Structure 1
């Protein structure tokens, strides 16, 4: 198989040559005058249409029917009723009013189940102590609880209890900045 260079190939003798003459520039293109006239007429017609429908919705359409000895004016059934006059009375009604707010007691607003945050569950107490130390370097106090599971004893590292979820979220973001991810928020179990 032969490789041919089609990019630099010169036309063979006897083949058709280009129709353009050498040394002469192509003829300049004329400005499309007809296209310009059609465009201007369409734009002008659209502008006239918009001008003609301007404010046509504001004028009521009435039909005058002349009968012998009597002129009757009938309104168009598609006309809208006139706009109602806006009246605001709440400003005068609220001038001398007082608002009373009941502030609930702090004991009633305290959540029934406060929050806690668990940051790890380990097989050995030494691993739990390491996690507790890392948390202590962030200025937080953690607790270690020993829990009996189906597969043996577990040491859970947790923080809390917290009254509001916002506090727990703030502490979790502090730990995430320190590289401790995976802390979960739970309800306090007592």
Structure 2
């Protein structure tokens, strides 16, 4: 089977040569090549303007500024105003002996919370989740619960003193890619 040249076949065909080009290549040359005197004239004009500019700058007289002696004025020393004889304001003496009492309300103790990270039907799945959470440095337990819909194995961390502490651990687990944890109140 003969090989086909697909590249050459997809190229457009070259335009037909003009009659003047076929007779020996005596067509018109580009405009810049046919008028070299124009390029030379522009170059000479630019060079002459540059040389004239240098000559003109050289003919200018050099101006040296004369040093002018100016008297230096010494500013008088800025003095402070005289100290007042008696204090015009009374609040300074009043504040020295004033006692302020502030009532601080007792904060309510927050409810303890746990962090539930999964609920599985099989214990080995719960143990795998517990191992992933252990890599984050958080201790968890697997709790077996029986409900109306069967046996569940829950992965639980805690109890924490507050929801804020549980949320901090939940955010740390989210950074590791474990997004299934929820904070729940201990009942």
Give the TM-score category using the shorter length.
Answer: 0.3 to 0.5
More helix by share: 2
More strand by share: 1
Larger Rg: 2
Scaled by the length of structure 2, what TM-score is found?
Answer: 0.45
Scaled by the length of structure 1, what TM-score is found?
Answer: 0.45
